[in-house]
Amino acid sequence: MKVNRYQLFTIIPVAALLILGLVGCQKEEAAQPAGLAPKVMADAIHAVLEADRTVYTKQVITRLVKKEKVIKASEQFEDDKALPLPAQMFRFGSELVAEKDSGFSYSLQSLWPINKQNEPKTDAEKKGLQYIADNPGQNFYTEEELGGTTYYTAVYPDVAVASPCVDCHNDHKDTPKTDFKIGDVMGGVVIRIAM
Amino acid sequence: MLTVFLTGFYYERLTGNDRTSFLPGAATDGHYQIISDCKLCHGDGFEDAEVLQKSCMSCHGKELKAVNDSHPKKKFTDPRNVDRIEIVDARYCVTCHVEHRPGRTGNMGVTMPEDFCILCHKEVAKKRKSHAGMEFNTCASAGCHNYHDNKALYEEYLVKHGNESAQLSKQVVVEKTLNQYFTSLDEKYRKSLTIDKQDSKIDRIDPKIFDQWQKSRHAATGVNCSSCHTHKNEWKNHVDMKACSNCHELEVLGFESGKHGMMLSASNITVSVATSRLKPKSNKNKDHLNCTSCHDGHNFNTEYAAIDACLNCHEDEHSKNFKKTKHYATWLNSKNGTLDSNAGVTCATCHLPRKIVSQNGIDRTLVQHNQNENLEPNEKMIRSVCMNCHGLKFSLESLADNELIKSNFNGIPKIKNKGFEMALERELKKKEKEAKENNKG
């Protein structure tokens, strides 16, 4: 098929418009990634973390250590042949997740940390932990850029659900706060999802 | 002529197994035994940091996990610590342990300047007033902290053991149970053998060999000549280490992972006077190292293997002083019955320590033949060795005293570890505060 000069003048602009249109569509699609919205995913992850943490604290630590008094819970649980503390169980889980490169990470932090490595560090963590302390029962959501990657960052209140939580924190040598009560926000669970 | 020679030389080096001519610099003491094959660490190329990291972890990963590594990779892959990676990329071992750089390599293959801790922990004195004014290079050099292994150094451990006396009331190591292990494993090990039952396939044998065998643990546990000398149903005069490994798998594995056997496992070349960096002057052992170098061919005398076999090659000040020490006296006394049979200290007590392992579902004592496991930093020896007999403070201070190490611990430490004072003082303050609150209540 032969294409004359006039037809060429028509085809080129139409093709250019089509290509631009396609690129535009692709851009629009990229702005709305498929799958769960990060907030829904973060909330779901937190629901599981919070449930497991509460079960371990109440059904294992409170029952065996406080009520039945059959075993101790200790930060040095290997040397003391004791149960790991709830915060340690939480951290061990987060470390295993970190090894799997699952696209998200989580940690337990506090404005009053026993281990100074767990105090808020990024601006989002600082704002988020302050927000959940000032607004009991509410979560904090934001986006932040770390090392060239954008993260959806969610901060959830970590509440003292049983007496071992407050006893251990109030009595610890390194605690900066000694008057926690059951029901207090002691810290926050920070979940990060890479965007 | 020269061109032809050089071409031939490098062709052989390129195509052969030994690539040492291409090394960019001498390897560290930790790795020099395994460098003939670049692929062991670098894989098929030299670009991918992950390949190198995988190689590091294939040999060191298990140990790091066992000691609860204080700075594992996962701490630095957390997005919140990305700023730290920019300072020290601790996701990769080679950030601090660069190989082939002899001019800047310090103890334990560390190539970072001594004050590297401060890069991330410069604020420490703000949180811990007791640390104010400390020099930046003393974190790891004063016996207080290690980068990886702090199992004997953490604060609560110092508190728990801080008031122990130098000499514990009970001073013994765990008993060897290899015989019990075998006899519980299979009935055949319960039948001892005598010379008339020997099944060698050689007509003329030195009677001394039969005599040694009959007095050995092998004869006592039913291990006949053919058990070691038969390979694929054929009699072999020379016994390969694989024959030992059939029964002593974990011991051989330890040997191959340690400084005596890692060259053999990596390149099929044994450590010898020629290949060792120690360069012993009067090597009385055979010119290569395998099981029988220390455990003589037929009597398998573990007493010889525990001291004299070592001193045949090791001629440094520490080794040469051993027989002047109280440790050696305990060994003599344990042999003559004055002390418990497990109270004697030999070279092997510290460098090839006994540990409880589970094998085939049975707990048994293993003599760990991988002396790298507790060698450096020497605080690794505290829990597995020193604290069988000594208090923590005495042990830590002894291991921090280089002069005492040279004398092979013939005396008491002159170094003081401030960590104990700090830990005990904090504990005391906590107790006082608790008492005050209780009085108020």
* DSSP state letters, B296-352: -TTT--HHHHHTHHHHTT--SHHHHTGGGSHHHHHHHHHHTTSS-TT----HHHHHS
- Using an 8 Å CB-CB cutoff, list chain B residues near A95: 72, 74
B80 and A147: CB-CB below 8 Å? no
Mean pLDDT for B67-92 is 90
B427 and A173: CB-CB below 8 Å? yes
Distance in angstroms (rounded) separating the CA atoms of residues B70 and B305? 35
A76 and B157: CB-CB below 8 Å? yes
Chain B, nearest residue to A79 by Cα: B157
Q: How many CB pairs under 8 A join A and B?
A: 39
Nearest to B74 among A99, A116, A173 (CB): A99
Pairing of strands B230-231, A185-194: unpaired
- Using an 8 Å CB-CB cutoff, list chain A residues near B157: 76, 79
Share the mean pLDDT of chain A: 86
Determine the pLDDT at residue B106.
87
Q: How many CA atoms lie within 13 A of A112 on its CB side?
A: 17
Residues in chain A: 195
pLDDT band at B126 (very low <50, low <70, confident <90, very high): confident
B85 and A99: CB-CB below 8 Å? no
Name the minimum distance, in Å, from the CA of B97 to any CA of chain A.
Answer: 22
Q: Is B34 strand, coil or helix?
A: helix
- Using an 8 Å CB-CB cutoff, list chain B residues near A105: 78-79
State how far the alpha carbon of B426 is from the alpha carbons of A173, B1, B107, B158, B429, in Å.
8, 76, 32, 11, 5
Determine the pLDDT at residue A24.
45
Share the mean pLDDT of chain B: 89
Distance in angstroms (rounded) separating the CA atoms of residues B225 and B143? 50
B427 and A116: CB-CB below 8 Å? no
State how far the alpha carbon of B306 is from the alpha carbons of B42, B178, B250, B312, B374, in Å.
37, 16, 18, 11, 17
| pLDDT above 80 (res A11) | no
State how far the alpha carbon of B135 is from the alpha carbons of B111, B118, B124, B422, in Å.
19, 10, 12, 16
B426 and A173: CB-CB below 8 Å? yes
Nearest CA among A149, A133, A119, A132 for reference residue A141: A132
Q: Can you say how many angstroms the Cα of residue A60 is from the centroid of all Cα atoms in its chain?
A: 24
Determine the pLDDT at residue B19.
63
pLDDT band at B8 (very low <50, low <70, confident <90, very high): low
pLDDT band at A17 (very low <50, low <70, confident <90, very high): very low
Distance in angstroms (rounded) separating the CA atoms of residues A111 and A134? 12
| pLDDT above 70 (res A12) | no
Mean pLDDT for B311-336 is 95
- Chain B residue set in contact with A, beta carbons under 8 Å: 72, 74, 77-80, 82-83, 85-86, 127, 154, 156-157, 160, 426-427, 430, 434
Higher pLDDT pick, B284 / B120: B120
B77 and A98: CB-CB below 8 Å? yes
Chain A, nearest residue to B124 by Cα: A116
A98 and B74: CB-CB below 8 Å? yes
Cβ neighbours of residue A26 under 8 Å, at least 6 residues apart? Answer: none
Determine the pLDDT at residue A3.
47
Contact by Cβ (8 Å): A93, A179? no
Mean pLDDT for A102-128 is 94
| pLDDT above 60 (res A120) | yes
| pLDDT tens digits, one per residue of B145-165 | 999 999 999 999 999 999 999
* DSSP state letters, B121-138: HTTHHHH-GGGTT--TT-
| pLDDT tens digits, one per residue of A41-67 | 999 999 999 999 999 999 999 999 999
A107 and B80: CB-CB below 8 Å? yes
Name the minimum distance, in Å, from the CA of B164 to any CA of chain A.
Answer: 17
- Using an 8 Å CB-CB cutoff, list chain A residues near B156: 75-76
Contact by Cβ (8 Å): B418, B132? no
- Chain A residue set in contact with B, beta carbons under 8 Å: 75-76, 79, 95, 98-99, 101, 105, 107, 116, 121-122, 125, 146-147, 149, 151, 171, 173, 190, 192, 194
| pLDDT tens digits, one per residue of A139-188 | 999 999 998 999 999 999 999 988 888 988 998 988 999 999 999 999 99
Contact by Cβ (8 Å): B122, B113? no
Contact by Cβ (8 Å): A98, B80? no
| pLDDT tens digits, one per residue of B30-58 | 899 888 888 889 988 777 888 999 999 99
Determine the pLDDT at residue A7.
55
Higher pLDDT pick, B265 / B335: B335
Alpha-helical regions (H) of B162-224: 178-185, 207-215, 217-220
Name the minimum distance, in Å, from the CA of B367 to any CA of chain A.
Answer: 23
Q: Which residue of B50, B80, B437 to mutate against A (max A Cβ within 10 Å)?
A: B80
State how far the alpha carbon of B112 is from the alpha carbons of B32, B39, B375, B377, in Å.
20, 25, 20, 16
- Using an 8 Å CB-CB cutoff, list chain B residues near A116: 127
Distance in angstroms (rounded) separating the CA atoms of residues B303 and B288? 21
Residue B74 CB-density burial (10 A; 0-12 exposed, 13-18 middle, 19+ buried): middle
pLDDT band at B143 (very low <50, low <70, confident <90, very high): confident
B361-382 per-residue burial string, b: 16 or more CB within 10 A, e: under 16:
eeebbbbbbbbbbbbebbbbbb
Nearest to B80 among A101, A146, A173 (CB): A146
| pLDDT tens digits, one per residue of A81-98 | 999 999 999 999 999 998
Mean pLDDT for B316-336 is 96
Cβ neighbours of residue B134 under 8 Å, at least 6 residues apart? Answer: B125
Q: Give the strands of the sheet with A104-109, arranged side by side.
A: A104-109, A185-194, A149-159, A140-146
**In chain B, % of residues over pLDDT 90:** 51
Distance in angstroms (rounded) separating the CA atoms of residues B438 and B316? 58
Determine the pLDDT at residue A4.
53
Determine the pLDDT at residue B12.
61
Cα-Cα-Cα-Cα dihedral of B171, B173, B179, B183, to 10°? 90
Mean pLDDT for B97-101 is 92
Nearest to A121 among B77, B80, B430 (CB): B80
Determine the pLDDT at residue B286.
55
Q: A125-130 long-range CB contacts below 8 Å, 24 or more apart?
A: A125/A153, A125/A155, A125/A190, A125/B80, A128/A153, A128/A154, A128/A155, A128/A188, A128/A190, A129/A155, A129/A187, A129/A188
What sign has the CA pseudo-torsion B362, B365, B366, B368?
positive
Higher pLDDT pick, B255 / A23: B255
What are the domain boundaries of chain B?
Answer: 24-150, 178-389
Determine the pLDDT at residue A49.
96
Which residues face A145 on adjacent strands?
A150
| pLDDT above 80 (res A23) | no
Which pTM does this prediction carry? 0.85
- Using an 8 Å CB-CB cutoff, list chain B residues near A122: 80
ipTM > 0.90 for the complex: no
Determine the pLDDT at residue A28.
45
Chain B, nearest residue to A120 by Cα: B80
Determine the pLDDT at residue A48.
97
Nearest CA among A77, A78, A47, A74 for reference residue A164: A74
**SS3 readout for chain A:** CCCCHHHHHHHHHHHHHHHHHHHHHHHHHHHCCCCCCHHHHHHHHHHHHHHHHHHHHHHHHHHHHHHCCCCCECCCCCCCCCECCHHHHHHHHHHHHHHHCCCEEEEEECCCCCCHHHCCCCHHHHHHHHHHHHCCCCCEEEEEEECCEEEEEEEEEEECCCHHHHHHHHHCCCCCCCCCCCCCEEEEEEEEEEC
| pLDDT tens digits, one per residue of B167-204 | 999 999 999 999 899 999 888 888 999 988 989 888 88
Name the minimum distance, in Å, from the CA of B128 to any CA of chain A.
Answer: 10
